[in-house]
Amino acid sequence: MTDLSAFPVTARWPARHPERLQLYSWPTPNGVKVSIMLEETGLPYEAHGVNIGRDETWTPEFLSLNPNGKIPAILDPDGPGGRPLALFESGAILQYLAEKTGRFLPADPAARYETIQWVYFQMAGVGPMFGQLGYFHKFAGREIADKRPLERYRAESRRLLGVLDGRLEGRDWIMGDAYTIADIALLGWVRNLIGFYEAGDLVGYGDFTRVAAWLERGLARPAVQRGLTIPPRD
């Protein structure tokens, strides 16, 4: 039987199935990237809810897995060379799982790097900007009298939507006919922007018809529907 006892995270979140990949996450736009990917690939895994509302990412056990204190993170008992691998950062996890399974990342080197650049586009641009817009539009940032921060993030979020909309001209998916980790990285964030953050009107989402059609296609995928709710909120 696989022994994961060397990893302190398993003391707080015990592995009932230690032979399976262990996912430590919460259903946020970053968290669902990995649950969607796992559902799409069909890899056996066990999901553990790490409640960010209760600051569980700042416990010593979770910090032993990700010293940056953010979900998601994974522990793969069957990592490279058959040795356990602990990994954090959602973009890195997507790339790892794509390479592990040989799915959702093109084999052609040029197309592979083109896909990865769009994952980085999400990591460096869409995630931070949409997240800040959500804070200043829906949460405590609304109380700040100076509205320049809100306008900055609104304008940048709209610009990023325009970049994505332009990329999708003549394409069903970011890489054309092939659904890839680039789509998986972005779907949850665009959904969150117009849903949970309630910022669709603020950014003029109706202007980005190609993004809207792409999001609808993505959300129609059964694996995406499942992944958006894993792990369940408690």
- pTM (2 decimals)? 0.96
Average of pLDDT values for 21-47? 98
For the chain, residues classed under CATH 1.20.1050.10 are: 109-221
pLDDT single digits (tens) 144-202: 999 999 999 999 999 999 999 999 999 999 999 999 999 999 999 999 999 999 999 99
Using the predicted structure, report yes or no on whether residue 234 has a pLDDT greater than 80: no
Query: Reduced to 3 states, what is the DSSP secondary structure of residue 176?
Result: strand
How much is the pLDDT for 1? 59
For range 99-104, the mean pLDDT: 98
Give 109-221's CATH code, choosing from 3.60.70.12, 3.30.70.270, 1.20.1050.10, 3.65.10.10. 1.20.1050.10
CA distances from 209 to 110, 130, 214, 216 (A): 28, 18, 9, 11
For residue 86, give every residue at least 6 positions away whose Cβ sits within 8 Å of its Cβ, in sequence order, or none: 7, 9, 65, 73, 74, 75, 76
Joined together, the tokens standing for residue 19 give 């032979």
What is the rounded radius of gyration, in angstroms, for the C-alpha atoms of the chain?
18
Domain with CATH 3.40.30.10 in the chain: 9-103
Nearest to 72 by CA among 132, 21, 142, 5: 21
- Tell me the pLDDT band of 124, cut-offs 50, 70 and 90: very high
Please check whether residue 168 is in contact with residue 214, taking contact to mean a CB–CB distance below 8 angstroms.
Answer: yes
pLDDT category of residue 127 using cuts at 50, 70 and 90 = very high
Tell me what the pLDDT averaged over the chain comes to.
97
Among 40, 36, 39, 4, residue whose Cα is nearest residue 22: 4
The CATH superfamily holding the domain 9-103 is: Glutaredoxin (3.40.30.10)
Q: Is the pLDDT of residue 142 over 90?
A: no
